[in-house]
Amino acid sequence: MKTLTLIRHAKSDWGHEGLMDIDRPLNQRGYTDAYSLSKWLASQKNKPDTLVSSPAVRAISTAFIFARALQINESEVTIEPAIYESTVETLYHLICNFPESSNSIALFGHNPGLTNLSNQLAADMFFENIPTCGILQIGFNVSEWKQVNTGNVLVYKYPKQFNV
């Protein structure tokens, strides 16, 4: 079985006029949400063993917070440029080429790509919008990433469920 955890970056700070979109950092709520949800994910049985992030500052920051909670060295987080501003087709191609040595991978990215991908991969749920710092974990009854097609939602969590 392969498990894919899609995590949308936490809430970003729009208060820095002149910054390029890719350089926007997290705001205070984003940090609070990321710490709360990463702590929750670290307490679960089915934790990701590999983390892959968009190169956007807000996504990398979210991924590093999760890495620390999951006790994964930040240097082991893979930065994948293709995730930033990606299409469903691009994200799906990345997933199909994930290393077979990993059975549970977390991908940190952006909307609308993550929500659209979720609706393609989740056989049993439809998503209007994956909120910032939302966590969606999908299980696939396959032995290789290239076999991923549709799977079942194992977890769907987001900050408002935690009253943070």
- Rounded average pLDDT over 23-28: 97
The predicted pLDDT at position 159 comes to: 96
Q: What is the pLDDT of residues 40-96, one digit of tens each?
A: 999 999 899 999 999 999 999 999 999 999 999 999 999 999 999 999 999 999 999
Range of the domain at 144: 2-12+21-162
Please give the model's pTM, rounded to 2 decimal places: 0.96
pLDDT band with cut points at 50, 70 and 90 for residue 33: very high
The predicted pLDDT at position 15 comes to: 84
The predicted pLDDT at position 164 comes to: 54
Mean pLDDT of the chain: 96
Q: What is the pLDDT of residues 103-124, one digit of tens each?
A: 999 999 999 999 999 999 999 9
The predicted pLDDT at position 8 comes to: 98
Give the count of domains, the chain: 1
- Rounded average pLDDT over 143-158: 96
| CATH value at residue 83 | 3.40.50.1240
**Cβ neighbours around 134 below 10 Å, total:** 25
Specify the higher pLDDT residue, 162 or 82.
82
